[in-house]
A = this chain, B = another copy of it.
Amino acid sequence: MVKQERAARTRQALIRSAAEVFAEQGFARASVSAISLRAGVSNGALHFHFASKGALADAVQQEAVGAMRRMTASAEAVGGPLQAVVEATHGLVRQLGEDAVLRAGFSLCGRPEGGPGPADAARGVSPRREWQTWVEEMLGRAEAEALLAHGVSPRGAAEAIVAATVGFEVLGGQDRSWLDAGTVTRFWELMLPPLSAPR
């Protein structure tokens, strides 16, 4: 049991180190030795847990998807679907600023430089796609519950929200001030009034 706990802790440390090394050096340039060194374990221990650098990237994305699902679930508990989206964008952007695993999980999505690339689609672990699907679902629900202002396209609204949050994430990779709470607040001050049906 103690042994299992230690193994689980080592696995987590490796995922975190991989996320940090991917963020600093990029997936393509990152070396497996740099990851094991940062986690304070041997290369052998790394290979016991992960067959390859690609498997580590998969685990980072899986962790990021898990973190996102916890976040969207707790946002849904707050109130209606529009409020949940506002709450979740705040949570997502804050957590992107704080959590290297979420950040790496997002930036590994898609780009050829980013890592596993198109294969994510097959495996179904892409934090960006997960986020998009959730936002679309919430906007669909908001429309069904007559919470959207007259004439607002739920598709257009979901696209704007997803594109802006991906933009905050990508720009925040270079300049952390994009991930400040104020950025998200200003975004919703602009976006929420035209989206919402008058009460």
A191 CB contacts on chain B under 8 angstroms: 160, 190-191, 194
Binary interface encoding of chain A residues 167-188 relative to chain B, with 1 for a CB under 8 A from any of its CBs, else 0: 1101101100010000100110
Are B113 and A26 closer than 8 Å at their CB atoms?
A: yes
A168 CB contacts on chain B under 8 angstroms: 163
A170 CB contacts on chain B under 8 angstroms: 110, 166-167, 170
Pick the interface stretch among A11-19, A65-73, A76-84, A149-157. Answer: A149-157
A155 to chain B, nearest CB (A): 7
- Report copies per complex: 2
A26 CB contacts on chain B under 8 angstroms: 26, 28, 111-114
Q: Is A193 an interface residue (CB 8 A)?
A: yes
Q: Is A189 an interface residue (CB 8 A)?
A: yes
Are B156 and A187 closer than 8 Å at their CB atoms?
A: yes
A111 CB contacts on chain B under 8 angstroms: 26, 107, 111, 113, 173
Binary interface encoding of chain A residues 108-143 relative to chain B, with 1 for a CB under 8 A from any of its CBs, else 0: 011111100000000000001000000000000000
